[in-house]
Chain A
Amino acid sequence: MQINISKSGIPIFAIVLLAIVFVFGLFFVGYDQGHIFSIVLGEQAFEDLYIHELTHDMRHAAGFPCH
């Protein structure tokens, strides 16, 4: 049986999965201003900024623009 793998041997789905982890984690720590929780909490999430406050210190320390 022929198995289709890329030249490096890394399957596409593994790359896609890690790429999703990368984008989501980066957004969570570096950029969220209530967006993620607003999916469940609605507009209130933009007031509470739970994730922003939680990741706030790392945001400054890792060089992401903040306040």
Chain B
Amino acid sequence: MRTFVFLIIVLISGAFAGTIHGVVNFVIVEPYLDQAIGIENQNLFASGEEKDTPEFWVEYEGYRVWQKSGQILAGTILGTSIGALFGIIFALSRNSLPGNNDVKKAVVLSGIMWFTLFLIPFLKYPANPPTVGDPETVILRSILYLSFIAISGFGALAFYKLSKKFQNNRKLVVLIGYGVFISVAFFAMPENPDEITAPMDLVNEFRIVSFLGVTSFWVSIGLILGFFWNRLGPHKETTTSYN
């Protein structure tokens, strides 16, 4: 394997796909974040915690600008991070993935990872706009969310490994095995403890745009890494000498 080429294309693909995610969020998610934070500010005024003064708004604008501009940068960093994981798994599973070129293989893998690491956890613990979460429970919620992602990901991996022991119906073994396993986990895991006090319309619309944003990342990462892999073939050099 041409390791340097491999590392570079993995990191660049992740950064690229993450930046797309950030830009998509900037356009479609930010309006909902503004709305939610607007409600939050009104609650602060109503409870007397903050006063509706020019000073308040100066400070508010100050950190909102920082937060908004962070959306795209954070997208690039998060994308590079998730892209690194994607790169590892793609390199390890490439020979078993269906498809006659690397774009198809990478898109298949990104679809599988989108499903197990994002969609299933999202259905259990959907994204929430500001004002919904109770700061007191953030550690608990983080542990629940991350555990469920790990359970789903390692579950899928375990059933894939297990299916190799079977002569035929391998796909069916994975699908049924993972399906039963994740359904049990889905109902066994505790619910998000927070009560939603924000308007439900806002929360639902926020979830839709959040879903679209993350999905744009997974589509991009598969296409971009697949494209680079096809062009540059980082696996080539050593596979010939090794086999």
Contact B238 A3 (CB under 8 A): yes
Inter-chain CB contacts under 8 Å: number: 152
Answer whether residue A26 sits at the interface, using C-beta atoms and an 8 A cutoff.
yes
- Which DSSP category, helix, strand, loop or mixed, fits chain B's interface? helix
Main secondary structure of the interface of A (DSSP, over half): helix
What's the least CB distance linking B176 to chain A, in Å?
27
Given A9-B238, A19-B88, CB of A25 within 8 Å of CB of B127? no
Interface-central residue, A23, A55, A61, A63, by most chain B CB under 10 Å: A61
A57 at the interface (CB under 8 A from B): yes
A30 to chain B, nearest CB (A): 8
Decide: A57 near B30, CB < 8 A? Known: A10-B91, A62-B213: yes
A29 near B74: Cβ-Cβ < 8 Å: yes
In B57-105, the 8 Å CB interface with A consists of 63, 66-68, 70-71, 73-75, 77-78, 80-82, 84-85, 87-88, 91-92, 94-95
The answer on a CB contact under 8 Å between B84 and A63 is no
- Whether B33 pairs with A61 at a CB distance below 8 angstroms is yes
Binds A, one of B128-136, B158-166, B181-189: B128-136
How many chain B residues have a CB neighbour from A under 8 Å?
Answer: 61
Q: Please give the residue numbers on chain B whose beta carbons come within 8 Å of chain A beta carbons, in ascending order.
A: 1, 3, 6-7, 10-11, 21-22, 25, 29-30, 33, 63, 66-68, 70-71, 73-75, 77-78, 80-82, 84-85, 87-88, 91-92, 94-95, 118, 121-122, 125-131, 133-135, 138, 141-142, 144-145, 209-210, 213-214, 235, 238-239, 241-242
